[in-house]
Amino acid sequence: MTKVIVSNQKHPLDTYLRTDRLPHIWCPGCGIGAVLHAFLRALLDSGVDLKKVALVSGIGCTGRVAGYVRLDSFHTTHGRALPFATGLKIANPELKLVVFSGDGDLIAIGGNHFIHAARRNIDMTVICVNNFNYGMTGGQLGPTTPLTGRTTTTMRGNIEEPFNIPYLAAAAGAVYIARWTTAHIHSLEHSIGEALAKKGFSLVEAISPCPTYYGRMNKQPTGLDQIRYFRYNSIVRHGIDPRLVGIEANGQIVVGKFVDIERPYIPGATGSGNGRTT
């Protein structure tokens, strides 16, 4: 007879989640939960007062993170998480600001805000989950869909060059840039921890499976297929020029910490938004 063991044990991170909102909406095999896990562990390890953490998301699958964390959290409009977070951070510089959103939200509809938040070097940590397509709406072309990648709006293959997010962030002025995949969960956690400790605009790109859409349409139909692809096609290159880390369809994924520099940030030590407080 099969013995069924029902555990009453809580998951160690349950305290930090709105468990009354579970189960979450993410598909089996999706990587967003893994990135959230890495983030929460990094956040707890950072020693930051959780009452002083505000998490802001935009719209999309990753945008739902704001609704599951037991933090002051804001689920805003599509693409506008960064300017919303900019206002919040300047209004209360004591807050540790984290923007947790997807590649479509941050890089397409929010692309202008992304480069300007990086340029201003607003003191916040951005976690960008990149799954190469719009999952929430059913797998359409995104700003990161690799050339030739199939989506529901590029059934014959994508003809547009995608954004290389680390290169874009570096050009715009981000002071910390790392990329990992959900096959590198410990490294991802480590980089998120470094990003949280960094003053200024820090970015961690987390490449994630979307087996329901992108994977299924590109010959990696399960989460495991995509994780295997990440695992066996990634190469760690710390400090590499971000120009060289673009992602091709089924190609190599360069991971690591690419940028870690110092630059004046906002709000500065005076607590002012633009340094003009007298």
Partner 1 sequence: MSQPRHLAGEFFLSGDEACAEGAINAGCRFFAGYPITPATEIAERMSERLPEVGGTYIQMEDELASMAAVLGASWGGVKAMTATSGPGFSLMMENIGLGAMTETPCVVVDIQRAGPSTGLPTLTGQGDMLQARWGSHGCYSIIALSPDSPQELYDLTIKAFNLSEQFRVPVLIMSEAATGHMYERVVIKSVEELELLPRRKPNVPPEEYLPYQPDDDLVPAMASAGEGYGFHTTGLTHDERGYPAMSVEAQDRLIRRLVDKIEKNKDAIIELEEDGTENAEVIVCSYGISARISQMAVQMARDEGMKVGILRLITVWPFPDERIRGLAQTARAFVVPEINYGQIVREVERCAGGKRTVLVPHMGGTVHNPHTIFEAIRQAVK
Binding site for partner 1 (CB under 8 A): 18, 20-21, 51-52, 54, 56, 66-67, 70-77, 79-80, 82-92, 94-95, 112-113, 116, 267, 272-274, 276-278
Q: Kindly list the distances between the CA atom of residue 164 and the CA atoms of 63, 93, 145, 176, 226, in Å, as whole numbers in the listed order.
A: 21, 31, 10, 15, 19
For the bound state, the minimum distance from the C-beta of residue 26 to partner 1, rounded and expressed in Å, comes to 14
For the bound state, the minimum distance from the C-beta of residue 66 to partner 1, rounded and expressed in Å, comes to 7
* Residue in 108, 80, 113, 118 with CA at minimum distance from that of residue 202: 118
Neighbours of 190 (CB within 10 A): 19
* Residue in 207, 208, 203 with CA at minimum distance from that of residue 259: 203
For the bound state, the minimum distance from the C-beta of residue 115 to partner 1, rounded and expressed in Å, comes to 8
CA 169 to chain centroid? 13
Nearer to partner 1, 8 or 278 (CB): 278
Nearer to partner 1, 76 or 158 (CB): 76
Nearer to partner 1, 123 or 194 (CB): 123
Question: Which phi-psi region, left, alpha or beta, contains residue 59 (left: φ > 0; alpha: ψ -120 to 50)?
Answer: beta
For the bound state, the minimum distance from the C-beta of residue 56 to partner 1, rounded and expressed in Å, comes to 7
Nearer to partner 1, 120 or 179 (CB): 120
For the bound state, the minimum distance from the C-beta of residue 132 to partner 1, rounded and expressed in Å, comes to 25
Nearer to partner 1, 100 or 132 (CB): 100
